Amino acid sequence: MHKRILYCVLDWGLGHATRSIPIIRALLDRGYEVILASDNLALDFLRTEFPSLTSYKLPSYNVEYLAENLFLNGIYNLKRIRSAIKAEHALTRHIAKKDKIDAIISDNRYGCHVAGLPSVMVTHQLQFRTGNTLQDRIGKMLISKLLKSFDHIWIPDDEERTLSGVLSMSGESRVKCIGWQSTLVSSSSSMEMHQNKRNEARKEYIIAAILSGPEPMRTTLEVEIRRQLETLDAKCALVRGVKGSPEARQEGNITVYDTLDRTEVGHLINSTSVIVCRSGYSSLMDLQTTGKKALLIPTPGQPEQKYLAERMRSIPNYVVQEQGELDIKSAMDRLANINSTNPGTVSSYLLDNAIKNLFKNTS
Q: Residue ranges per domain, the chain?
A: 4-181+346-356, 184-335
For the domain 184-335, what is the CATH code?
A: 3.40.50.2000
Looking at mean pLDDT, say which of 55-64, 135-144, 231-240, 338-347 comes out highest.
Answer: 231-240
Say what the pLDDT of residue 195 is.
42
E-state strands within the chain: 4-9, 33-38, 55-57, 103-107, 119-122, 152-155, 175-177, 205-210, 236-239, 249-251, 254-257, 272-278, 293-297, 318-320
Query: At a CB cut-off of 8 Å and minimum separation 6, what does 172 contact?
Result: 153
The model's confidence at residue 69, banded by pLDDT at 50, 70 and 90, is low
Average pLDDT over residues 191-213: 65
Question: Which residues are paired to 122 by β-bridges?
Answer: 107, 154
How far apart, in Å, are the Cα atoms of 76 and each of 209, 223, 227? 29, 25, 30
Asked if domains 4-181+346-356 and 184-335 share a fold, the reply is yes
Average pLDDT over residues 244-253: 91
The pTM for the full model equals: 0.87
CA distance 97 to 128: 35
Q: Which CATH superfamily is domain 4-181+346-356 in?
A: Glycogen Phosphorylase B; (3.40.50.2000)
What proportions of the chain, in percent to the nearest 5, are helix, strand and coil? 40, 15, 40
Pick the closest to residue 318 from 302, 306, 335, 304 (CA basis).
335
Q: For residue 74, is pLDDT > 70?
A: no
Q: Is residue 287 a contact partner of residue 294, using CB atoms and an 8 Å limit?
A: yes
Say what the pLDDT of residue 65 is.
61
> Out of 94-98, 214-218, 303-307, 351-355, which region has the weakest mean confidence (pLDDT)?
214-218
Could you tell me what percent of the chain has a pLDDT over 90? 67
Sheet order of strands, 205-210 included? 249-251, 254-257, 236-239, 205-210, 272-278, 293-297, 318-320
The string of DSSP letters for 148-195 reads TT-SEEEESS-TT-TTTGGGG----TTEEE-----SGGGSS-HHHHHH
Q: Is residue 63 a contact partner of residue 81, using CB atoms and an 8 Å limit?
A: yes
In terms of Cβ atoms closer than 10 Å to its own Cβ (0-12, 13-18, 19+), residue 202 is exposed
Q: Is residue 258 classed as helix, strand or coil in its secondary structure?
A: coil
Work out the mean pLDDT of the chain and round it to a whole number: 88
